[in-house]
Amino acid sequence: MSISGATRVAGVVGRPISHSMSPILHNAWLAAVGLDGVYVPFSVQPGRFVAFVNSLRGGTVAGLNVTLPFKGEALALADETTFRARGAQAANVLVFRDDGTILADNTDGLGMLGAFAEQAPGFDPAAGPVVILGAGGGSRGAAAAFVEAGCGDVRIVNRTLLKAQEIAEPLGATAFALSDAAKAFEGAIAVVNATSAGLSGSPALEAPLEATPQGAVIMDMVYKPLKTPFLAQAEGLGRQTVDGLAMLIGQAVPSFEAFYGQAPPAGVDVRTLALKALGL
């Protein structure tokens, strides 16, 4: 990669950031397309995020992906926000315009829908009830994306019911306590695990997936391990599954487009690169 005076700079900001897969994905696409651009990680101290982003206004960088713990602050400081970002109450993409304004978007939900399209072709989010487990940032992005995709029956299940209610209410979704998961699973066409249970080293989520219809598609946002205990349980029941790495790559696609003005090139096997970087 050679850096010139005209190199278009974008990146990802978070803390910690060294584990981020995003630089691997974006720089592989940039290299493949031969674009004069670079994508770099920014580790910003808590309390300095807003000053950092404001200092970049006016096109110093083309854009930023935003990850934990700054997604809420990113939404709040933007001049314009997309429906998806407002629905998710969080932004994972900031686009810096030449006039000094910032547009905030959320592509996590698009990434999730892209993962379904890739690994469960034919899945139609508008065809029936979908269930999201968890009520954090991932859940909010997923819920907003399902609503925007035409799903009229989104069910949010969470250990802390109040948090599920807070997400459900503005979206016209329904909230369930985790103890009522079996009820929420009735008739579902998809179940998405957006809890952090099942992350390497943490106990698996206990969910009564046997209460889902045989045709339900089961997805886990967690991608380390790639086959989480939740997905293994779903496979054991004969359900079709979708993994979190496909979502991670899916959210990067519209981000790349927003930063570099073109879609990522086809034919770059970023999944294999990411699996290698994850040691999987």
Nearer to ligand NDP, 70 or 96 (CB): 70
Gap between the Cα atoms of 30 and 189, Å rounded: 37
Nearer to ligand NDP, 56 or 253 (CB): 253
Which of 194, 209, 253, 274 binds ligand NDP (CB under 6 A)? It is 194
Gap between the Cα atoms of 194 and 137, Å rounded: 9
Q: Is 221 in the site for ligand NDP (CB under 6 A)?
A: yes
Identify residues 239-258 at the interface with ligand NDP (CB under 6 A). Answer: 244, 247-248, 251
Shortest Å distance, C-beta 70 to ligand NDP: 12
Query: What is the strand order of the sheet 37-43 is part of?
Result: 37-43, 8-14, 63-66, 93-96, 102-105, 80-81
200 backbone φψ class: left, alpha, beta (φ>0; ψ -120 to 50): beta
Question: Which candidate, 214, 207, 218, 249, places its Cα nearest to that of 120?
Answer: 218
If one counts every other C-beta atom within 10 angstroms of the C-beta of residue 261, the result is 11
Residue with nearest beta carbon to ligand NDP: 136
Query: Does the active-site annotation cover 71?
Result: yes
Identify residues 153-182 at the interface with ligand NDP (CB under 6 A). Answer: 158-160, 163, 178
Identify residues 99-158 at the interface with ligand NDP (CB under 6 A). Answer: 108, 111, 134-139, 158
DSSP run (H or E) holding 144: helix 137-148
Catalytic residue numbers, as ranges = 71
Residues that bind ligand NDP (CB under 6 A): 108, 111, 134-139, 158-160, 163, 178, 194-197, 199, 203, 205, 221-223, 244, 247-248, 251
